[in-house]
Amino acid sequence: MTILSSVKRASITAFTVVSLLHAVNANANPLEGLPSGTYNLDRGHASVIWKVSHFGFSTYVGRFNDFSADITLDAENFEKSRVTVDINVDSLDTDYPFPEKEDFNKVLAEDWFKSAEYPSITFIATSVSALDGSNFTIDGDLTLMGQTHPVSLDATVNGATPSHPFAKVPLIGFSATTSIDRTIWGLSKYAPKIGAQVSIEIEGEFLNKAK
C-alpha cells in the first residue's frame, strides 16, 4: 500500500467519523435532562440589540439596557412552552458620542418612541414550534407605541444543562432574531431615509431557580 493510499483512507475515515458525529448531534435533544418550569432571565448574560439603515450609508446599532423576560418551559412538549418580554423604552442606548449637543438617547425615547405615553415594549408568545435540532420559531404579539401586531422570531437553543456550573440550577441559553417594519407600529419618523426595516437580535440565558 502506498503512502498516498494510506492518506486517502485516513481522510475518508476521518470524514466518516465527523459525519456521524454531526448526525448524532443533529438528532440529539438539546433539552435532555432539563426540568420543565419557569426560567427567569439572567440579565448579566442577555442583550436586546436593534439595527437600522442610516441613509443607506451605514447600519446604525442601538440597544435597550433594561428589560426582563421569562420562559415557561415544557421540556417534554416544547410546543407548549411560552416566553414573555418587557422592555423599558427609556433604557434605549445608542452610545451617541456628542453629549454636549443633546441627550440623543432621551430624544429618541421621548420623541420617537413617545416613552412618556408608552413606557414599555412587550412581546408575548402565542405559539412555539417544535424543535428542529436546536432551531425553532416563536410567534407572538409585539406591542409598541400602543399598537399590537404579530411578529415571528427565528430562535436557537444554544445550550442547556440541568446544573449551571456556578449557580447549580438548571440553565438554558437562547438566541433569537427577527426583522420588523417599524412604520406598522406608527414609529415612522424619517422613514425610509432612516430605514423602516429594523433588525432585532436577542441573546439570553435563563435560570430555573425553583430547583
Same domain, 105 and 9: no
Same domain, 54 and 6: no
143 vs 184: CA distance, rounded Å = 11
Question: What amino acid occupies position 149?
Answer: H
Find the domain containing 20 and state its range: 1-29
Same domain, 107 and 195: yes
| Kind and range of the H or E run holding 194 | strand 194-207
Q: What is the mean pLDDT of residues 106-124?
A: 97
CATH code where residue 48 lies: 2.40.128.110
Same domain, 18 and 90: no
What is the phi/psi pair of residue 111, to 5°? -90, -40
Confidence (pTM): 0.84
Same domain, 20 and 112: no
- Per-residue pLDDT of 166-188, as tens digits, reads 999 999 999 999 999 999 999 99
User: Taking the alpha carbons of 62, 67, 72, 75 in that order, is the dihedral positive or negative?
Assistant: positive
User: Is the peptide bond prior to 35 cis by the omega test (within 30 degrees of 0)?
Assistant: no
Give the per-residue pLDDT at 102: 73
